[in-house]
Structure 1
Amino acid sequence: MDVTIGGEMLGVLFVAATVAGFVDTVAGGGGLITLPMLLLAQVPPVHALATNKLQGSFGTLTSSYAMLRRRLVRWSAIRGLFVASLFGAAAGTLAVQHVHAQALDVLIPVVLIGIGLYFLFAPSAGAVAGRPRLGARAYRNGVVPVIGFYDGFFGPGTGSFFSLAGVALRGHSLVTATANAKLLNFASNIASLAVFVIGGKVVWLVGGVMVVGQMIGAWLGSHAVVRGGARLIRPLIVLMCTAMVLRYAWQKGLFMGLF
Structure 2
Amino acid sequence: MDFAYTVAGFAVGAIVGLTGVGGGSLMTPLLVLMFGIHPSVAVGTDLLYAAITKAGGTLAHGLKGTVDWTVTRRLASGSIPAAVLTLLFIGHFAPGGIDGATGIIKVALGIALVLTAVAIIFRKRIQEYALVRFGENPDPRRTAILTVLTGAVLGVLVSISSVGAGALGVTALFFLYPRLPTLRIVGSDIAHAVPLTAVAGMGHWMLGSVDWLLLGSLIIGSLPGIWLGSHISTKVPDRVLRPILATMLMLVGAKLITH
The alignment's TM-score, normalised by the length of structure 1, stands at 0.73
- 1:85 is matched with 79
Q: What is the alpha-carbon distance in structure 1 between the residues aligned to residue 63 and residue 231 of structure 2?
A: 11
- Are 1:168 and 2:183 an aligned pair? no
Q: 1:3 aligns to what?
A: none
List aligned pairs for 1:41-52, cutoff 5 A.
Answer: 41-52=35-46
Aligned to 2:251: 246
For the 8 Å contact 1:84–1:144, the answer to whether it is kept is yes
Q: Secondary structure at the match of 1:158?
A: coil
Tell me the amino acid that sits aligned with residue 248 of structure 2. Answer: A
Identity of aligned residues (%): 19
Structure 1 distance, partners of 2:68, 2:202, is 25
Residue 119 of structure 2 corresponds to which residue in structure 1? 115
Tell me the amino acid that sits aligned with residue 31 of structure 2: L
Report how far residue 209 of structure 1 moved: 1.9
Q: Give distance in 1, aligned partners of 2:59 and 2:12.
A: 18
Q: Cα gap change, 1:126/1:14 in structure 2, threshold over 3 Å: closer, same or farther?
A: farther
Which structure 2 residues correspond to residues 23-172 of structure 1 after superposition, within 5 A?
A: 23-24=15-16, 26-39=19-32, 40-75=34-69, 78-97=72-91, 98=93, 100-101=104-105, 104=108, 108=112, 111-112=115-116, 114-119=118-123, 133=138, 135=140, 136-171=143-178, 172=180
> Which has the higher relative contact order, 1 or 2, with Cα contacts under 8 A spaced 6 or more apart?
2
1:138-217 aligned at under 5 Å gives the runs: 138-171=145-178, 172-217=180-225
Aligned letter for 1:177? Answer: I
Closer, same or farther: CA 91–224 of 1 in aligned 2, 3 Å: farther
Residues 43 and 37 of structure 1: is their aligned pair in 2 closer, same or farther, counting only changes over 3 Å?
same
Offset of residue 250 of structure 1: 3.2
Taking the aligned partners of 1:182 and 1:220, their CA distance within structure 2 comes to: 19
After TM superposition, give the deviation of residue 240 of structure 1 in Å. Answer: 3.4
Q: Which has the higher helix share?
A: 2
Q: Which amino acid aligns with 2:3?
A: G
Pair 1:76–1:107, CA change in 2 (3 A): closer
Shift of 1:131: 5.4
2:12 is aligned to: 20
Distance in 1 between the 2:117 and 2:28 partners? Answer: 21
Answer whether contact 1:22 1:220 (CA < 8 A) is retained.
yes
Amino acid paired to 1:198: M
Q: Give the superposed CA RMSD.
A: 3.7
Checking the alignment, whether the CA contact within 8 Å between 1:152 and 1:192 is kept in structure 2 is: yes
Uncovered stretches (5+) of structure 2, i.e. residues with no partner: 95-103
For residues 242 and 195 of structure 2, what CA distance do their matches in structure 1 show?
Answer: 21
Q: How many residues align?
A: 240
